[in-house]
Amino acid sequence: MADPASGELRPAIERMPVSRIRDVANEAMGMEGLIPLWFGEPDVATPDFICQAAADALSQGETFYSPNRGVPDLRHALARYTSELYQVPVADDRITITASGMSGIMLSHQLLIEPGTNVICATPAWPNVQGTVDVLGGEFRPAPLKFTGSGWQLELETVFDAVDDNTRAVFINSPGNPTGWVMPGDDQKALLAFCRERGLWLLADEVYARLVYDRSHAPSFLEHAGPEDRVIVINSFSKPWAMTGWRLGWLVTPARLGQRLEMVNEFNLAGAATFTQIAGITALRDGEDFIARQLERYRSARSAVYERLSANPRIRIGWPEGAFYAYFAVDGIDDGLAFCKRLVREHRVGLVPGSAFNAAEEGWLRLCFASQLDTLNTALDRLEDAIAS
Amino acid sequence: MADPASGELRPAIERMPVSRIRDVANEAMGMEGLIPLWFGEPDVATPDFICQAAADALSQGETFYSPNRGVPDLRHALARYTSELYQVPVADDRITITASGMSGIMLSHQLLIEPGTNVICATPAWPNVQGTVDVLGGEFRPAPLKFTGSGWQLELETVFDAVDDNTRAVFINSPGNPTGWVMPGDDQKALLAFCRERGLWLLADEVYARLVYDRSHAPSFLEHAGPEDRVIVINSFSKPWAMTGWRLGWLVTPARLGQRLEMVNEFNLAGAATFTQIAGITALRDGEDFIARQLERYRSARSAVYERLSANPRIRIGWPEGAFYAYFAVDGIDDGLAFCKRLVREHRVGLVPGSAFNAAEEGWLRLCFASQLDTLNTALDRLEDAIAS
């Protein structure tokens, strides 16, 4: 796409590639009857009790600036939540509230990345990880996961080989978007040992930590790291509590980063909204039933979508251990972007091509199954028509 | 202050100076009876009708992701608001919603600033402007305002002389924090002409545009610039609508920047909260009476504070034409930071030293007069005691 601003902004900004998700979504402008399974978002609104907590905080005048690292009661609640979930002690001074997981990624990279440095990232990965590195003028180095036939695997050598003297961090998103890959605890330990040895930071995007189906939570780097290790865990209220539109997340870091995080949080946007943070306390306290109900729905959706897709001899798909995406390749499709555009235009289903996620191979597609079963089945009918045509 | 993280983060991050506002505020930990006039924040909560609009949006399920440049109805409302206020046509595609004026400053600088470039900024200025430049590894070049005895003045030559081949932008905050300076329209025209000639961007932080006392609004660069001029106006709901804790702002830019702003907004935090944006529409529609009432209060406070301070022969102060700060120097105080700490500790009043704002001269102090008259008078009694002691 031609950029009319050419030449007047930073070169790093001018050469950033346009989002392929948006490129596909543009095909759908004004279209009726489209089934959009492209965004990573629960299909239900935030539960009433959380909305009510925000409304109550608003009516109580909680509309002033919050401290730069966040409302102390929320930081305390998150420290407790984290300690209980992982059975490791996490102190309040290790928690920083951010205005979304996205902001948490940007802040973490701002601490570490500048021109001349690089970050290694397991891919395919959410494109916004690379986006933040691009904005900061650093180098994004993919460490591709391997498709084993039944699922995804990160060979640690792939990461180790990508590291050089300018590497500042390794970025791992597990459970992973788009693959649903869950990094085994033993691999986490080995990667942490490597990062310790090399003085690298480990940036762990664990926003899908609760969206796993065969255990209470995904393995976390917090289960292996000490409080002073160079580990930053990025998390968010968006997915488990269906709060995507709220912009509320948090970081768990060594306490010694607190002062610098206070500063970069202030210089980016001075934190999440005060009443939103207060609603977050209620979400943590009363949200477990909601999470359990959503997981039950996603579990059924996962099985239904997986069964239909894996039954198609032209489709390769891994069993998604976590998150809420089916990620699959269709034999014969070698331009995923073109296929997704046609799928929207002719079959009214919205998916995202794997190329949006820095996939090593063409032809992969992501479908978000956080939706109703009948909607998903209609979408799969249409997808099968598109593949057959 | 020693930084225990030393050596492991980016040098640019490690050398960022700790906030002097915070440095002073730390003196007040757990103190009772303190009168805090240090933050730039209205003393009243957000009016009920705006809170109710957010609560209604929440109960209507407005909790999903918003488009990256913001909710279209709010962008439209802001385009109309801007067009009517300045009597110049501003199209919807020139508006980008940001999660605060702060975020608007960071996004603007991300488009332009990288190592090896600089931005010229009229000073004294809000320290967070320099903060964003520091985070991005650019150079912040002060262009000091001159105190004329009765008020502040920017000699344009000061700006012109600071520009070199690596300058990308000139940053002007008018009405200005902390000085209350309002840049005359003719000076804006002359500066715009200079920026056009040199191919520089003009970044205009106009968050205090409505906080002026002798006219309907402060002169805006939008009154002189064409829609394609290299001008970015940064604005916010925080001050006029008493919405500091909400994190809601907007940018007015040439329409051609839309696609890049969509991307950097996404990579920083993917916008302001959806229900917050919807409440912003109500604030614009129904907020004028509230703004008028607040201005009436601030006008009285400004007179009262100015009269008392200017009556003191040891004090120099400019008449604040805009914003809600008294900015003044006390003869005999040559370390503003030490004085502010003593003022907190011994007299329980919170002010900010001018050195926090990159002031050219020591001994200046900022007092926010967005407060009740009796509170302000008590604070001034205590201040006079401190000055006399």
Q: What are the backbone dihedrals phi and psi of residue A264, each rounded to the nearest 5 degrees, phi first? A: -70, -35
Strand blocks (E) in chain A:
35-36, 95-98, 118-123, 139-144, 146-147, 152-153, 167-173, 201-205, 231-236, 249-252, 315-317, 325-330, 349-350, 352-353, 364-368
Q: Count CB neighbours of B262 within 10 A.
A: 19
User: Quick one: average pLDDT of A287-307?
Assistant: 97
CB nearest to A245's CB, from B5, B41, B274: B274
What DSSP string runs through A70-102?
--HHHHHHHHHHHHHHHTS---GGGEEEESSHH
Per-residue pLDDT band for A6 (boundaries 50, 70, 90) equals low
Of A173, A232, A163, the closest CA to residue A198 belongs to A163
Task: Spell out the long-range contacts of B186-195 with Cβ–Cβ below 8 A and sequence spacing 24 or more.
Answer: B187/B154, B187/B156, B188/B219, B188/B220, B188/B221, B188/B223, B188/B224, B189/B224, B190/B156, B191/B156, B191/B159, B192/B221, B192/B224, B192/B225, B192/B229, B192/B231, B194/B156, B194/B159, B194/B160, B195/B170, B195/B230
Domains, in order of start, for chain A: 11-46+289-388 (3.90.1150.10), 48-286 (3.40.640.10)
Q: Return the minimum-mean-pLDDT range out of A36-50, B11-25, B172-186.
A: B11-25
Structure tokens at A208: 């899908």
Secondary structure of residue B82 in the 3-state scheme: helix
Which 134-193 residues of chain B touch chain A by CB within 8 A?
134-137
Secondary structure of residue A349 in the 3-state scheme: strand
Check: CB of residue B46 under 8 Å from CB of residue B246.
Answer: yes
User: Quick one: average pLDDT of B258-267?
Assistant: 95
Q: Name chain B contacts of A111, Cβ cutoff 8 Å.
A: 9-10, 13
Q: Name chain A contacts of B275, Cβ cutoff 8 Å.
A: 245
Q: Return the minimum-mean-pLDDT range out of A200-209, B9-18, B22-31, B154-163.
A: B22-31
Rounded CA separation A158/A346 (Å): 40
- Is B268–A1 a contact, with Cβ atoms under 8 angstroms apart? no
- Is A269–B269 a contact, with Cβ atoms under 8 angstroms apart? yes
Give the mutation candidate from A200, A207, A247 for the B interface (greatest B CB count, under 10 A).
A247
Mean pLDDT in chain A? 95
CB nearest to B55's CB, from A55, A112, A244: A55
User: Quick one: average pLDDT of B188-192?
Assistant: 98
Of A329, A320, A388, the closest CA to residue A362 belongs to A329
In the predicted structure, residue B3 carries a pLDDT above the cut 50: no
Q: What is the pLDDT of residues A139-186, one digit of tens each?
A: 999 999 999 988 999 999 999 999 999 999 999 999 999 999 999 999
Strand pairing report for B315-317 and B249-252: unpaired
Q: Per residue in A170-208, is it b (16+ CB within 10 Å) or e — as a string?
A: bbbbbbbbbbbbbbeeebbeebbebbeeeebbbbbbbbb
Q: Per residue in B178-191, is it b (16+ CB within 10 Å) or e — as a string?
A: bbbbbbeeebbeeb
Query: Complex ipTM, two decimals?
Result: 0.95
Rounded CA separation A5/A253 (Å): 39
CB nearest to B267's CB, from A51, A106, A247: A106
Q: Name chain B contacts of A64, Cβ cutoff 8 Å.
A: 41, 45, 244-245
- Chain A nearest-CA distance from B313, in A, is 36
Residue type, position A198, single letter: R
Regarding pTM above 0.80, the answer is: yes
Per-residue pLDDT band for B213 (boundaries 50, 70, 90) equals very high
